[in-house]
A = this chain, B = another copy of it.
Amino acid sequence: MAIILGDNQYGKAESRLVRFVRDGPRHEIRDVNVTTALRGPFEPAYLHGDQSAVLPTDTQKNTAFAFAKSKGLEAVEDFGLELARHFVDDVGPVTGARIEIEQYEWQRAVVDGEEHDHTWLRKGQEVRTAAVTVDETGEYVVGGLKDLVLLKSTGSEFAGFLKDEFTTLPETHDRVMATALDAKWRFASTDVDWEATYADVKRLMVREFATLQSLALQQTLWHMGTAVLEAIPSIVEMRLTAPNKHHFAYDLSPFGLDNPGEVFWAADRPYGLIEATVLRDDAPPANDAWRASAGLA
């Protein structure tokens, strides 16, 4: 028996990079959080402390900032591809690169009814995500979002479920359903209009959440996933992770009050957690990068 080094990668996490375009009076903003990781023949660094093949994480950070200037920063998927290709193609020992990016949205300040040229407010809570992997086997792009907080005050049921000796939950045909959605979607190619696709995916998921008379959060997720896959050919698989953020109707009967779905306590923990994958049956096999980015077990 010997002890060996298995999978490994190293990089610089969470470089908070803001890129403005200032070509005229109306500026543009891109606000991102960049994490890079490199793979390759790095055993000597582990076994003997030999760094001769190791590009410092500080250099990876410098590269991200330099590329934001020299290449520009439009779609985060493209920016991730630029960085990953550079590390694999231009840095001798590197055989694989993985770039993860979070993007934070801003909306222009409105002053006297007009959008302002160079002032913004942070918009919403949701974070757009991209995970790009480039290695000997190809290029892989995963789009996504997290913390998209959705709530509906009716149109959700939970009944007819399995019961055992530990079951005390009553059935309900009208409850609040709320979640902070985390979704990842896998592309089959890199020839994609990333910006339009992101907007479409979000719009479709919100529509399904709103309009389905939901018999279970599982059913809502399935409808979200199929709506996206049916509409967007470039996406071959979706991974949806949805906490069931419980809203409990508060018992007002001790005070002589009824509560027909009006007053709720929003609980923190515990919460239900539904995780599901929806995919095309002819999807190409996923690589490990997808499984990792999707948090799959």
A35 within 8 Å of B (CB atoms): yes
Interface size of A by Cβ–Cβ distance < 8 Å? 150
Determine if B168 and A207 form an interchain contact, defined as CB atoms under 8 angstroms apart: no
A149 within 8 Å of B (CB atoms): yes
Q: List B contacts of A12 (CB < 8 A).
A: 270-273
Contact mask A200-225 → B, CB, 8 Å, 1/0? Answer: 00000011011100111011011001
Known: A169-B59, A270-B15. A121 touches B98 (CB 8 A): no
A198 within 8 Å of B (CB atoms): no
Determine if B52 and A160 form an interchain contact, defined as CB atoms under 8 angstroms apart: yes
Known: A91-B162, A210-B111. A152 touches B46 (CB 8 A): no
Determine if B226 and A3 form an interchain contact, defined as CB atoms under 8 angstroms apart: yes
Contact mask A110-146 → B, CB, 8 Å, 1/0? Answer: 1110001011111111000000010000000000000
A11 within 8 Å of B (CB atoms): yes
Q: List B contacts of A154 (CB < 8 A).
A: 22, 27, 118
A15-60 residues at the B interface, CB under 8 angstroms:
15-22, 27, 29, 31, 35, 37, 42, 45-59
Determine if B16 and A269 form an interchain contact, defined as CB atoms under 8 angstroms apart: yes
Q: List B contacts of A273 (CB < 8 A).
A: 10-13, 35, 37, 57
A191 within 8 Å of B (CB atoms): no
- A270 smallest CB distance to B (angstroms): 4
Determine if A216 and B49 form an interchain contact, defined as CB atoms under 8 angstroms apart: yes
User: Do most interface residues of chain A lie in helix, strand or loop, or is the interface mixed?
Assistant: mixed
Determine if A150 and B13 form an interchain contact, defined as CB atoms under 8 angstroms apart: no
Determine if B8 and A277 form an interchain contact, defined as CB atoms under 8 angstroms apart: yes
- A78 smallest CB distance to B (angstroms): 17
Q: List B contacts of A237 (CB < 8 A).
A: 6
CA distance A262 to B268 in the complex (A): 23
Determine if A262 and B164 form an interchain contact, defined as CB atoms under 8 angstroms apart: no
A89 within 8 Å of B (CB atoms): no
Determine if B262 and A16 form an interchain contact, defined as CB atoms under 8 angstroms apart: no
Determine if B111 and A211 form an interchain contact, defined as CB atoms under 8 angstroms apart: yes
Q: List B contacts of A209 (CB < 8 A).
A: 109, 119
- The one of B7, B16, B297 in contact with A270, judged by C-beta atoms closer than 8 angstroms, is B16
- The 7 closest A-B CB pairs, nearest first, are A49-B215, A6-B277, A292-B297, A122-B149, A119-B210, A51-B161, A46-B222
15 A-B contacts, Cβ less than 8 Å apart? Answer: A2-B280, A3-B225, A5-B276, A8-B275, A10-B274, A12-B272, A17-B263, A31-B266, A52-B161, A58-B169, A63-B166, A98-B297, A120-B151, A133-B297, A166-B254
Given contacts A16-B265, A69-B252, A98-B297, 4 further A-B contacts (CB under 8 A): A6-B279, A11-B272, A16-B267, A42-B218
